[in-house]
Amino acid sequence: VITGYDGVLMEGDTIQLTCQSTGSKPAANIRWFKGNQELKGQRREKKDNNKKTFTVISTVNITVEWVDNMTPVRCQMDHPALRTTLLQTSQDLHVQYKPRLVITPSSDIFEEGDTMELSCIATGNPNPSSIQWARRDGEMPDRARILGNKLVITALNKTDNGTYKCEGFNNIGHSAEEYTLYVREAQCFTDPARHTIRAKYQATFAAQIGTDQAVIGGVVAVVLFITLCLLIVLTHYFGRQKGTYFTHEAKGAEDAPDADTAILNAEGGHSHPEEKKEYFL
């Protein structure tokens, strides 16, 4: 049994808990845990009246924090006779604390013309009874609306720059959390989501260009190859034709009389058609 716990605790309180084991032989070992964290306790033991068994008493001091609310504290006994059995007792801590606040903006960057939404998440024990918004360095803009735990400002401009404060209240006290707003001039592709879209578009466009260039390069290579083949074939073909022409010309020259002879014969034929004269030059 754990003793020394009197009920509700306040954040920052320190308590001393005691756990006792009786009638063990050899003396039991007592261990303390807060949640999954093992704590170091102070131990003392004494022999029982029968001079055979032992009573072990262990104490531990704990300073509670707000995060310890509803956290179990366990006293666990280790003994050779309990190798397959876990003997322990536990007690939940009930800690009261003032509100804890966290402000979450709807975006990391705000530009002129954007709508800003700030959410104030409040926890506490007891639960916060109210949440209030205020501007620390001036009055709230006319475009500001408070919707429960949210502050909404539409059509942002440079005059909205400043520090906005969320306050939470409960029976223990109140707490405040602040958010500093800086409105940037409107620019193209300043929103992170737009940056992502633009980057994806540029990557896709570049990939498409690369693909098109590869296709065009392949087509040009094929055309050049075909053209080169045609040039080789045509060169070979005309080379053969020219050789044949020269061969025929040579054959004709062997059968025909000398050209100069033929001309002279033709000139002499007008005066003496019946005579054939030859003149050799």
Contacts of 86 (CB under 8 A, 6+ apart): 76
The span from the CA of 22 to the CA of 56, in Å, is 6
Q: Rounded to the nearest 5°, which phi and psi values hold at 47? A: -80, 145
Sorting pLDDT into bands at 50, 70 and 90, what band is 192? low
- Predicted confidence (pLDDT) per residue in 52-91, tens digit: 888 899 999 999 999 999 999 999 988 877 777 778 899 9
| pLDDT more than 90, % of the chain | 49
Beta strand spans in 126-278 (E): 130-135, 144-147, 150-153, 162-169, 174-181, 183-184
Q: Does position 271 have pLDDT exceeding 80, yes or no?
A: no
What is the average pLDDT across 207-230? 71
What is the average pLDDT across 252-273? 46
Sorting pLDDT into bands at 50, 70 and 90, what band is 196? low
What is the average pLDDT across 174-192? 83
What is the average pLDDT across 193-211? 52
Q: What is the pLDDT of residue 155?
A: 96
Q: Does position 189 have pLDDT exceeding 50, yes or no?
A: yes
Q: Which domains are seen in the chain, by residue range?
A: 2-93 (2.60.40.10), 98-184 (2.60.40.10)
Sorting pLDDT into bands at 50, 70 and 90, what band is 261? very low
More confident residue, 56 or 230: 56
Q: Could you write out the DSSP letters of every residue in 105-153? A: ES-S-EETT--EEEEEEEEEESPPSEEEEEETTSPPPTTEEEETTEEEE
Q: Does position 128 have pLDDT exceeding 90, yes or no?
A: yes
> b/e per residue, 162-201, with b = 16+ CB within 10 A?
bebbbbbbbebebbebebebebeeeeeeebeeeeeeeeee
Global pTM value:
0.58
Report the range of poorest mean pLDDT among 7-16, 86-95, 181-190: 181-190
Beta strand spans in the chain (E): 2-3, 9-10, 14-24, 29-34, 37-39, 42-47, 54-63, 72-78, 87-92, 95-105, 110-111, 116-125, 130-135, 144-147, 150-153, 162-169, 174-181, 183-184
Contacts of 6 (CB under 8 A, 6+ apart): 15
Report the range of poorest mean pLDDT among 145-149, 208-212, 253-257: 253-257
